[in-house]
């Protein structure tokens, strides 16, 4: 058994660069040996940070590199499914940033490829599973200290973007995290959704600055996801579980509470990279260990697919103004549990 893993990274922007830094400087059992980006200058900067790596402008060549043991996909969303499929064909483990695809139909093809191979190779970048605050909430809920879980609540607040975001983008790129968190926290699948939203302006009905999603789980439990894509002041994520005898929730901020000049204040994180810095390190450490042990762990391709089925239903509901049932096929035996 190898004690180190040689990693190739596709995409060297903010997310890919962060993963490259973590793998090179925080994970002793990982070596970043290859990078792919059309921006070769940026790729070279990341390569220098990693201590040197082969630079590609073709993702398929990186995947085929015999020196690359596993691949991390941090390319734009529209390339995720195609690249994950290529990694499965090459029989190489892959950590794919969310979403797995831009539609459930696309994601299903990845599932079918993995099932045909008969081996789990894909892990999804749902990093909240590695966030200490989220883990603490889930463990309390799973221990039954609150009795039966009745309600899930997720709040997702983003700072403003330069351009208004479409309702499709807010759901598949931001709320997809909250959808997975709901499935993971509740150990249950979502069977119906109802989405309402506020456009960035009346003249742009396809945009969304605030999205609210109501969830109905198979067990009869309820849920709600609030996603503010233009808060303007910083980044926050909160999750709360309500049970029969109590509730548990995360603390949205990590910074110190300051009392001074008749004011109480606390720093709000600038972006998700700051808020989930520890989670990203824990995520890549666990992924590299799973490669070395040859035992897949973490959120699976099925989790990526199931969350995308829910996301598609949320988008349909937003555009129709009606509740939409979630039709999830039977989970293949390859993926074991209903949720990770």
What CATH code is carried by the domain that includes residue 115?
3.40.50.720
- My answer on whether 76 and 102 are in the same domain is yes
Residue 81 belongs to domain spanning: 5-127+278-299
CB-CB contact of 60 with 8 (8 Å) = no
CA distance 265 to 270: 15
Distances 121 to 35, 85, 176, 228, 298 between C-alpha atoms, Å:
20, 10, 21, 33, 11
One pLDDT digit (tens) per residue for the chain, 340 residues: 579 999 999 999 999 999 999 999 999 999 999 999 999 999 999 999 999 999 999 999 999 999 999 999 999 999 999 999 999 999 999 999 999 999 999 999 999 999 999 999 999 999 999 999 999 999 999 999 999 999 999 999 999 877 899 999 999 999 999 999 999 999 999 999 999 999 999 999 999 999 999 999 999 999 999 999 999 888 999 999 999 999 999 976 667 788 888 998 888 888 888 889 999 999 999 999 999 999 999 999 999 999 999 999 999 999 999 999 999 999 999 998 544 4
- CATH code for the domain in which residue 177 is found: 3.30.360.10
242 and 329 belong to one structural domain: yes
Same domain, 140 and 122: no
Q: Same domain, yes or no, for 24 and 155?
A: no
pTM, two decimals, is 0.94
Q: Are residues 97 and 166 both part of a single domain?
A: no
Residue 340 covered by a domain: no
Q: In this structure, are 62 and 206 located in the same domain?
A: no
Question: Are 96 and 146 within one domain?
Answer: no
The reported pLDDT for the residue numbered 1 is 53
pLDDT at 340: 43
Residues 15 and 99 in one domain: yes
Q: Is residue 260 part of a domain?
A: yes
Q: Are residues 316 and 264 in the same domain?
A: yes
Within-domain flag for 321: yes
pLDDT of residue 338: 45
In which residue are the tokens 């789990």 written? 120
Q: Is 161 helix (H, G, I), strand (E, B) or coil?
A: coil
Domain identity same for 79 and 165: no
User: Are residues 173 and 120 located together in one domain of the fold?
Assistant: no
Shared domain for 120 and 147, answered yes or no, is: no
Asked if the structure places residue 287 within a domain, the reply is yes
How many domains are contained in the chain? 2
């Amino acid at each position: 058994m190898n004690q180190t893993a040689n990693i190739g990274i596709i995409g060297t922007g903010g997310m890919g660069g962060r993963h490259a830094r973590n793998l090179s400087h925080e994970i002793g059992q990982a070596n970043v040996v290859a990078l792919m980006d059309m921006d070769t200058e940026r790729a070279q900067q990341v390569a220098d940070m990693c201590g040197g790596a082969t630079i590609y402008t073709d993702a398929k060549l990186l995947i085929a590199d015999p020196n690359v043991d596993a691949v991390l996909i941090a390319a734009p969303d529209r390339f995720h499914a195609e690249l994950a499929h290529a990694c499965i064909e090459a029989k190489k483990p892959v950590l794919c940033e969310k979403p797995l695809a831009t539609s459930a139909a696309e994601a299903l093809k990845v599932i079918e490829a993995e099932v045909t191979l008969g081996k789990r190779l894909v892990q999804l970048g749902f990093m909240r599973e590695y966030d200490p605050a989220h883990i603490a909430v889930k463990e309390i809920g799973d221990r039954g200290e609150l009795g039966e879980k009745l309600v899930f609540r997720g709040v997702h607040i983003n700072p403003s973007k330069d351009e208004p975001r479409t309702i499709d983008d807010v759901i598949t790129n931001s709320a997809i995290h909250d959808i997975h968190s709901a499935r993971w926290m509740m150990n249950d699948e979502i069977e119906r959704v109802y989405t309402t939203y506020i456009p960035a302006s009346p003249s742009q009905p396809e945009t969304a600055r605030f999205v609210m999603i109501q969830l109905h789980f198979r067990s009869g439990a309820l849920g709600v996801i609030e996603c503010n894509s233009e808060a303007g002041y910083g980044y926050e994520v909160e999750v709360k579980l309500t049970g029969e005898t109590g509730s548990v929730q995360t603390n949205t901020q990590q910074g110190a509470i300051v009392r001074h000049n008749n004011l109480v204040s606390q720093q709000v994180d600038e972006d998700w990279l700051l808020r989930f810095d520890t989670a990203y390190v824990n995520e890549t450490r666990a992924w590299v260990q799973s490669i070395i042990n040859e035992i897949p762990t973490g959120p699976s391709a099925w989790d990526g697919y199931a969350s995308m089925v829910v996301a598609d239903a949320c988008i349909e509901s937003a555009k129709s103004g009606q509740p939409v049932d979630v039709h999830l096929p039977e989970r293949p035996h390859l993926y074991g549990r209903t949720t990770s």
